[in-house]
Amino acid sequence: MEKRPLGRTGMNVSVICLGTMTWGQQNTEAEGHEQMDYALDRDINFFDTAELYSIPPKAETQGSTERIIGTWFKERNNRDKVVLATKAVGATSSKWFAPTKDRPSLPTRERIMYAVDESLKRLQTDYIDLYQLHWPGRPFSIFGTNPVVWEHSEGPETAIEETHDAFDELVKSGKVRAIGLSNESAWGTMRWLYGAEAHGKARIASIQNAYNILNRTYETALAEIGAREDVGLLAYSPLGQGMLTGKYRDGAQPAGARRTLFGRMGRYEGPGANAALEAYFKLCDERGLDYAQTAIRFTISKPFVASSIIGATSMEQLRHDIAAHEMPWDDDLDKAINALHRERPNTCP
């Protein structure tokens, strides 16, 4: 499988990254182990998790995904074969994140130092390859993307400088090899880059944001930053939370699917979403293309994408989605998808 640079770290990661957020709710420990075995056998060397997971967030399942990865490392003794990414939460009203369980959590130095040590324990490792801030430590207009419509937000926050200092300290201590952002804006990304350049702090290697055929807001401002500053995009939700697979077409509610179990699909059910989806399905049908594999292959066709994060609840789904990296891609298909986007841009930001 193709490997791409992870920023300026010297680490190279597979263009497909194994996402893990369903392990601990929709998937058992044994199923998580089976997925990791298969992914590694298919030359995927990049796994992504978070202290928050599994999803949807719950106090009783927080950290469960990291624990599953940790038992796999212990049983397989193969930590050195994986570039492991995890995340610390940003500003959140949730109060179950220690050591601040009596109040909403913020990414202060105290919180970050506690979070990384807890993640290391659960993961049964003494280092993290890529440590990311899951979302900003400030009120934010929209989660996971650059907003199409700006909305002013207020609330408690931690200055980027304090969080960056903590992340820099972790790199210097050896607990973390590299740092990254997630669900961040162009402004926030440049503030972190400025801190590295002006003050000699650790430099961000990546940004993990939503990016797919229905949501290309990353291209509006962040793509140029990523390309010029060597900050690779870790594209999450390449299938638009499953909408681009067609499994929810015509209001279908497949058993065991995330929409059926949890809802939480508002981003992909707004005005214009259905028309954009149907146009995409028609294009694929006319060309004899698989919906899911085309959507994943679209993301890794972009040079600013370091890796595309896929997640699966079944081995059949995992095998199918990983195979997307082998799908041929050409300028004609790229132009056709771009034409659809220009007709209905960013219907699901």
> Out of 53, 218, 236, 248, which one is annotated catalytic?
53
Q: What residues does 294 pair with on adjacent strands?
A: none
Terminus-to-terminus CA distance in the chain, angstroms? Answer: 30
Which residues are within 8 A (CB) of 325 and not within 5 positions of it... i.e. 6 or more apart?
1, 2, 15, 16, 296, 297, 300
Reported in sequence order, the residue ranges of 97-185 that DSSP labels E, i.e. its strands, are: 128-133, 176-182
**Residue carrying structure tokens 């913020």:** 106
Distance, in Å, from the CA atom of 105 to the CA atom of 157, rounded to the nearest integer, reads: 9
Distance, in Å, from the CA atom of 160 to the CA atom of 186, rounded to the nearest integer, reads: 14
Active site residue 53: yes
Distance, in Å, from the CA atom of 162 to the CA atom of 159, rounded to the nearest integer, reads: 6
Burial letters for 122-137: b for 16+ Cβ neighbours within 10 Å, e otherwise?
bbbbeebbbbbbbbbb
What residues act catalytically?
Answer: 53
